[in-house]
């Protein structure tokens, strides 16, 4: 095949990109375990473009289609309950899905430019969503864009550059490194709603100098509003922090005339989402990607058939950060939006990707909250210690609910769905991360338990000493009902003064005994030790009452 034919075969007929950006939400109310952040959007619908999505599963039965059925039966029952709820008539009933979705429809397209001299590319918006989760302070921004008839280089540029929360740095011309030169959100009439500011280096440098965190680029900040970055001075109830890498996780759907025209280097670039490059030049050293097919590829529908003919020419690539499907744009099943690969990519596989990244973000958030609780702990401050204990108990309870509600090792028994989730989980390191967070929470919980036992033991020691000291006086004065002062018939005033004097003396003795209970405990230990001589016991008593150095 000559160069012209090869270039034509690599032409991308169908392209979609889905960005999925996890962010940590700041609690609305301190001390409250379950934060329903989405209620802020529900209560102020006039001030923002977000509207809640009631999906097809909650609509009229006549609107329920085969695609919805195929989507639901892909997952195991406990995952179905997480994604779709229990089917109550009331969508906000306790048994319903713990996931809430909000969508904005005011943005119709996005115009991106790779460089100052590059021709702008317009991508259509399929939808822009926010995913909230009950009991977990995480929100996921979902942006899906699509276009047809693009060059492979253009697709690689979009995948590599578009989903960047801020520039990694700046080149000699002042353009942001690895990010788009310009991004513009457009409404249905082509009017620009917001523009990126990645080239304004000083804004980002000043922000980092002031807040020690990177500044979110203007076009992403606009997209998230009324959610605001927590470190900014912008007022807003819904505030977020970055919790993962600034490069947003993504999914890509790529349909070509001839997928097998792509060589190994092309697949490595698409699978690892690297910058565009010459197909004949490897993006990484050979030893680095020697096991690329085994680690990153799912080739059940890619392998050549037993009779020598090609299979379905569909290949899945997953590196954790990205999930890409490459296939034949001329094969109807690959482009079918109801039951084909495209439908599966946008729905079943998207939910698989969402679950994996939600789990990772939630675990990272819980780990971050533990660190924050430790940073606020002042061991010598009783109020700080109480607040720390209360916080750790709450984190432990939330972790338990996360485990039983959101933590899945298997989400499907369908081969493709099961394999893709396994690839995502392995590359994201979900199991080791879960074990690490669990261990840290249990360590803190055990520390709190041991500290409580230590305090209880000290209290028992003090009460024991007070009881022993009080026992001496009780037996002495109560023997045979003896009254040291027989003053029962004295005037009321005299009896009152006797009572007051005895009360003060007894209270003072009790408080003094509690104050010296540690030393008295040492004395009792010495007296009860059969191995010590009377002289050693006397020396121990004298030593216990000597002033101690501070």
Task: Convert the pLDDT of each residue in 177-227 to its tens digit.
Answer: 889 999 999 999 999 999 999 989 999 999 999 989 999 999 999 999 999
Among the listed ranges 341-345, 423-427, 442-446, which one has the minimum average pLDDT value? 442-446
pLDDT interval class at 306 (50, 70, 90): very low
Give which of 187, 250, 186 is closest to 15, Cα–Cα: 250
pLDDT at 512 over 80: no
Give which of 198, 158, 201 is closest to 181, Cα–Cα: 198
Output the CA–CA distances (angstroms, integers) from residue 374 to 121, 402, 441, 442, in the order listed.
48, 21, 12, 14
Is the full-model pTM beyond 0.85?
no
pLDDT at 134 over 70: yes
**CA 66 to the chain's CA centroid:** 33
Output the CA–CA distances (angstroms, integers) from residue 437 to 246, 356, 388, 425, in the order listed.
22, 16, 17, 16
Cβ burial of 20 (10 Å; 0-12, 13-18, 19+) is buried
Cβ burial of 293 (10 Å; 0-12, 13-18, 19+) is middle
Output the CA–CA distances (angstroms, integers) from residue 204 to 8, 35, 218, in the order listed.
41, 31, 11
Residues with Cβ within 8 Å of 150's Cβ and at least 6 positions away in sequence, in order, are 11, 12, 15, 121, 158
pLDDT at 531 over 80: no
* 58/542: higher pLDDT: 542
pLDDT at 476: 57
pLDDT at 526: 67
* 271/42: higher pLDDT: 271
pLDDT at 405 over 80: yes
Indicate left, alpha or beta for 65 from its phi (over 0: left) and psi (-120 to 50: alpha): beta
pLDDT at 242: 92
Among the listed ranges 202-206, 221-225, 384-388, 420-424, which one has the minimum average pLDDT value? 384-388
pLDDT interval class at 497 (50, 70, 90): confident
pLDDT at 50: 93
pLDDT tens digits, one per residue of 93-121: 544 788 899 999 999 999 999 988 889 99
Give the Cα separation of 494 and 488 in Å (integer).
10
pLDDT at 95: 45
**Tokens 């607040």 found at:** 387
* 381/473: higher pLDDT: 381
Give the Cα separation of 160 and 175 in Å (integer).
15
pLDDT at 236: 85
pLDDT interval class at 455 (50, 70, 90): low
pLDDT at 116: 83
pLDDT interval class at 466 (50, 70, 90): low
pLDDT interval class at 507 (50, 70, 90): confident
Among the listed ranges 86-90, 156-160, 222-226, which one has the minimum average pLDDT value? 86-90
Among the listed ranges 12-26, 387-401, 523-537, which one has the minimum average pLDDT value? 523-537
How confident is the model over 312-321, as a mean pLDDT?
A: 91
How confident is the model over 328-342, as a mean pLDDT?
A: 91
pLDDT interval class at 307 (50, 70, 90): very low
pLDDT interval class at 478 (50, 70, 90): low
Among the listed ranges 2-11, 266-275, 359-368, 371-380, which one has the minimum average pLDDT value? 2-11
pLDDT at 409: 87
pLDDT at 229: 92
Per-residue DSSP letters for 4-21?
HHHHHHT-EEEEEEEEEE
Output the CA–CA distances (angstroms, integers) from residue 143 to 18, 20, 287, 426, in the order listed.
6, 7, 35, 24
pLDDT tens digits, one per residue of 233-286: 788 889 999 998 999 999 999 999 989 899 999 999 999 999 998 889 989 998
pLDDT at 64: 63
Two structure tokens written together for 118: 């590059």
pLDDT at 92 over 80: no
């Amino acid at each position: 095949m000559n160069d012209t034919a090869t270039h034509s075969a690599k032409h991308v007929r169908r392209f979609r990109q889905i960005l999925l950006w996890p962010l940590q939400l700041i609690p609305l109310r301190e001390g409250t375990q379950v934060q329903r952040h989405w209620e802020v959007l529900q209560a102020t619908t006039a001030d923002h473009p977000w509207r809640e999505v009631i999906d097809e599963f909650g609509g009229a039965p006549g609107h329920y289609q085969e695609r919805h059925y195929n989507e639901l039966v892909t997952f195991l029952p406990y995952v179905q309950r997480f994604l779709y709820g229990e089917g109550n008539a009331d969508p906000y009933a306790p048994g319903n899905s713990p996931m809430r979705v909000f969508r904005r429809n005011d943005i119709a397209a996005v115009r991106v430019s790779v460089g100052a001299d590059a021709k702008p590319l317009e991508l259509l918006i399929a939808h822009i969503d926010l995913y909230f989760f009950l009991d977990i302070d995480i929100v996921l921004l979902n942006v899906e864009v699509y276009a047809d008839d693009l060059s492979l280089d253009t697709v690689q540029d979009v995948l590599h550059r578009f989903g960047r929360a801020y520039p990694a740095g700046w080149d000699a011309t002042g353009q942001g490194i690895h990010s788009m030169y310009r991004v513009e959100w457009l409404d249905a009439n082509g009017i620009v709603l917001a523009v990126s500011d990645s080239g304004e280096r000083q804004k980002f440098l000043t922000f980092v100098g002031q807040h020690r965190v990177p500044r979110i680029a203007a076009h992403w900040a606009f997209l998230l509003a009324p959610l605001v970055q927590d470190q900014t001075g912008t007022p807003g109830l819904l505030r977020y922090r970055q919790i993962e890498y600034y490069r947003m996780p993504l999914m890509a759907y790529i349909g070509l005339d001839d997928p097998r025209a792509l060589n190994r280097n092309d697949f490595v670039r698409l699978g690892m989402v690297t910058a565009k490059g010459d197909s004949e030049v490897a993006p990484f050293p050979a030893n680095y990607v020697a096991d690329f097919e085994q680690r990153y590829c799912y080739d059940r529908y890619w392998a050549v058939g037993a009779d020598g003919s090609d299979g379905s020419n569909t290949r899945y690539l997953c590196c954790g950060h990205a999930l890409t499907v490459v296939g034949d744009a001329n094969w109807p099943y690959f482009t079918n939006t109801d039951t084909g690969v495209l439908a599966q990519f946008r729905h079943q596989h998207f939910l698989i990707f969402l679950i994996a990244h939600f789990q990772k973000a939630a675990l990272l958030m819980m780990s971050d909250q533990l660190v924050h609780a430790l940073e606020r702990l002042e061991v010598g401050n009783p109020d700080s210690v109480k607040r720390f204990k209360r916080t750790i108990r709450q984190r432990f309870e939330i972790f338990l609910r996360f485990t039983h509600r959101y933590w899945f090792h298997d989400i499907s028994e369908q081969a493709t769905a099961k394999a893709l989730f396994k690839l995502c989980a392995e590359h994201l390191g979900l199991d080791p991360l879960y074990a690490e967070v669990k261990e840290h929470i249990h360590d803190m919980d055990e520390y709190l338990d041991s500290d409580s036992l230590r305090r209880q033991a000290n209290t028992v020691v003090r009460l024991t000493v007070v009881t022993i000291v009080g026992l001496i006086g009780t037996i002495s004065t109560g023997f045979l009902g003896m009254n040291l002062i027989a003053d029962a018939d004295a005037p009321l005033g005299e009896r009152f003064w006797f009572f007051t004097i005895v009360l003060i003396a007894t209270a003072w003795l009790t408080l003094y005994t509690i104050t010296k209970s540690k030393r008295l405990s040492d004395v009792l230990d010495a007296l009860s030790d059969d191995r010590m001589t009377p002289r050693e016991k006397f020396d121990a008593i004298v030593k216990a009452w000597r002033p101690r150095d501070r």
